[in-house]
Structure 1
Amino acid sequence: MGLGSRGPQRSEDTRPAGPRGGGAALEGVEKVLTRGTSSAMTNGGDMTSPHISGEETEVEDSSNEPAGSTPSASDTLRHFTADFDVDGVVRRLKTGNFIVPNFNPAPAPEAEYAGFQRNFVWTKKQKDRFIESLLLGFPIPGIFLVEQPGKKYLVLDGQQRLRTLRDFVTGTDSVTERTFRLSGLGDESRFYGKAFADLDEADRDLLLNTFLQVTIVVPREAGNLQGVYQLFERINSGGTKLQPQEIRIALYAGSRVDALRELNDDPHWREIFGRKNLRLKDTELILRYLALRRVAQSYDEFDWTREAPQTASEAHTHGNYLFYRAPLSQFLNTYLESLGDNGTPDVKAMETFRAVVKVLSQVGPTALRLEDSAQINAAHADAMLVGLSMSPRIQNLADSLQSNPGKDFTEEVGNIASGIDQRLADLLQNDEYQRAIRESTSHLASVYARLKFTSESFRDL
């Protein structure tokens, strides 16, 4: 059986192709449909801590990414387009042929593809207007999928459109768990207040037989998703543009993402960071910690001599070492790819993260923020997390917490925390450190400087 419900019309090319009808026109429709986007749901997690604000935590990032070399699309990808009717799309979503899991909450253990894609962020009005647009015959933007083994298709772009279609046709809004009625439309609309079952038969048939254009992307090399990532960055547009971490979560789904989710649920991390970030900035900071900790360990092996790591970084990796090379977004992708499809971060790194945030929860949430801002500074945060993880005393605490889970370490945690305050104050008074966390923070010189500063500052806690 072909991909489309009617044996899809299919065309293949090695160049990125936009939806039929004119990419510019469809982009304009996308902007109209998604104007005013805001969150329609909040993440779970214990919000009882006095340190956790009711406001979503903002993350300040002054990376000023340098441009990296981009290979030709034909070197890394092939793609083709296919037309699917809405009836076939909904059926494939229900059977799991098209896969659109959430990052939060955690998927069921039996789920074949673990959490990716962002949280559902369309408002009720946006969802209803999207359905109305189809019923009125307006064109909509195309969908992007990535083909996986076994002819499964991961949704890269179009999650909200597909979920809205599925929910409306099946009758239940997956966010509210109530009957999906078009109550967000103006009462002048002839579809106002109607559920799918309330539509005239002609309107139901019109909707189910409407064709959507789907672009299916296939990596030329199994497991190498850098090309897909770069393509998605380029086609990612509209009212609610996906962040790099949201794209990353889609592409590297599985045990690697599960590990990030697990650490993101740590109660001490939640005390420090605050509410879960709908755009996954909190998980991106954890990923930065995991990847840059390996960098700091590599520098440490070379006694923090920049010349040796810079030479090794030409190949990005060197034996068991990992050396940093900008741009940061590509570096984080490389780290995830180094773990393999079924791999997870180093257990020691994960347990040390738990020890670090346990200590930082005693220092307070201001530890990852600068004095002149209520936002978390991403560069300062990754440097603090990595630098503290390099401390032998915190590494010993991590070992103790893991081997004696029922023991009370309150006194030891408090003693370590008391030694951080003055060192942190001294760091923030250092002009070189300030430059490393505020200016061009993804450049090698800045990454090297801030990791060296924090690693040396907290070595003798």
Structure 2
Amino acid sequence: MKFTVTEYSFEFIVQKLKADRYYVPGYQREFVWTPAKQSKFIESVFMGLPIPFVFFWQDEEGRMEIVDGSQRIRTIRDFMDDKVALRGLETLPAANGLRFSDFAPSRRLMFSEKSLRVIILDNSTDAVTRTEMFARINTGGTTANDAEVRRGSLPGPFMDMVIELADSPEFVELTPISRSLVDKREREELVTRFFAYLESFDPTLVASDGGNGDIPSYKEEPRRFYFSFVKEANDRISSEIEQDDTSPTADAMREEFLRTLQFVNAVSPNGFTKSQTGNQVPRVRFESIAVGSALALRADPDLLLRSPDITPLLESAPFKEATKSDAANVKSKLLGRIRLVRDWLAER
């Protein structure tokens, strides 16, 4: 990874932020620091405590994306704009209730001239690498998850469809998950995985483990695999829309997803959960049931009419073993749990 290290004053960074030369990418979370946390940070600055590095990435237009440090930078901006009144300070209690303009000119100047050490990532650093780096060296902020990264950095018609299907009543009913997971776009993550695995699965290949069917593009780097798939799907669907104002690919994918939901609703009394009152949808369980069912329906569309009860499979020892969370992203495990459902349904 190529990068340079430099220092910028608070005043300089705030000016660039206001001029939209520095920006917070769409995949990052909204501003989440509380007034108390903002105040503690400002207090630390006045105390002269060291400030962690911030990370920028220069895009093709020369603008700087704030990869890590947006909460700190936005707090500095808001304080200098008199939008933050300090509160709850214990080390410098005399500053409680003060805004930036309440300080003496010399104090304001000293604050404005404080500097941040900045690591600027090279333009060639892609979004997957940037977020991987962020996750590894994050200094305690709230990290954007993969679904949020894809939503913000890969806008397009496929991503729009993922968001639409994730919010569909049929899918919501089959995936009863917590509010916090909904807010973290877990349903979008599940929909993306469904399409990435299903569309990349080649039933004519024999995998290295000897099983029928393989996902040749999956190299046990799931983040990069999903990212590449979403980008390619966006490009393919966009090209079709530009030519004919419609996308047969998107229409077929949407129809297959909804057909799979209809099938799972018919064959699995608990949908993708383990019980009628379940409120968790483990990813390994979802992938196995959803992708395995879709592949079985591709091979035998009449399976939808027969709709065999899948409960015996879901309660079997082989299924429970195949959907353990350990080594979930290992390719042989992924293929094994998908094939298990596909092959069991094929025998019905």
Tell me if TM exceeds 0.5.
yes
Assess if the C-alpha contact under 8 Å between 1:264 and 1:283 holds in 2.
Answer: yes
Q: Tell me which residue corresponds to 2:243.
A: none
Task: For 2:21 and 2:318, locate their aligned partners in 1 and report how far apart those are by CA, in whole Å.
Answer: 52
Q: Tell me which residue corresponds to 2:194.
A: 289
Q: Tell me which residue corresponds to 1:331.
A: 225
Q: 1:83 to 1:196 in 2, by over 3 A?
A: same
Unaligned runs of 5+ in 2: 239-246
Q: 1:186 to 1:98 in 2, by over 3 A?
A: same
Task: Please give the secondary structure, in 1, of the residue aligned with 2:271.
Answer: helix
Task: For 2:263 and 2:180, locate their aligned partners in 1 and report how far apart those are by CA, in whole Å.
Answer: 20
Task: For 2:224 and 2:312, locate their aligned partners in 1 and report how far apart those are by CA, in whole Å.
Answer: 32
Task: For 1:417 and 1:166, locate their aligned partners in 2 and report how far apart those are by CA, in whole Å.
Answer: 61
Assess if the C-alpha contact under 8 Å between 2:40 and 2:89 holds in 1.
Answer: yes
Give the total of aligned pairs. 331
Task: Please give the secondary structure, in 2, of the residue aligned with 1:440.
Answer: coil
Q: Tell me which residue corresponds to 2:244.
A: none
Q: Tell me which residue corresponds to 2:115.
A: 211
Higher helix proportion: 2
CA drift of 1:83 comes to 1.9
Cα RMSD, aligned residues only: 4.1
Task: For 1:267 and 1:132, locate their aligned partners in 2 and report how far apart those are by CA, in whole Å.
Answer: 48
Q: 1:343 to 1:143 in 2, by over 3 A?
A: farther
Assess if the C-alpha contact under 8 Å between 1:145 and 1:156 holds in 2.
Answer: yes
- List aligned pairs for 1:247-262, cutoff 5 A: 252-255=153-156, 257-262=159-164
CA offset digits 1:241-296 (Å, max 9, x no partner): 5545555556x343265554444333443442443534443332222222111233
Q: Say which of 244, 265, 271 aligns to 2:167.
A: 265
Assess if the C-alpha contact under 8 Å between 1:436 and 1:446 holds in 2.
Answer: yes
Task: Give the partner amino acid of 1:205.
Answer: L
Matched, 1:440 2:327: yes
CA drift of 1:100 comes to 1.2
Task: Give the partner amino acid of 2:9.
Answer: D
CA drift of 1:380 comes to 0.6
CA drift of 1:144 comes to 0.9
Assess if the C-alpha contact under 8 Å between 1:269 and 1:358 holds in 2.
Answer: no
Q: 1:431 to 1:248 in 2, by over 3 A?
A: same
Q: Say which of 89, 106, 117 aligns to 2:13.
A: 89
CA drift of 1:341 comes to 7.1
Task: Give the partner amino acid of 2:5.
Answer: T
Unaligned runs of 5+ in 1: 1-72, 102-114, 173-179, 314-320, 397-415
Q: TM-score, normalised by structure 2?
A: 0.76
Q: Say which of 61, 77, 95 aligns to 1:191.
A: 95
Q: Tell me which residue corresponds to 1:43.
A: none
Task: Give the partner amino acid of 2:221.
Answer: P
CA offset digits 1:131-186 (Å, max 9, x no partner): 222233222111112211111222211122223233333345xxxxxxx3333545
Matched, 1:450 2:344: no
Task: For 1:90 and 1:418, locate their aligned partners in 2 and report how far apart those are by CA, in whole Å.
Answer: 64
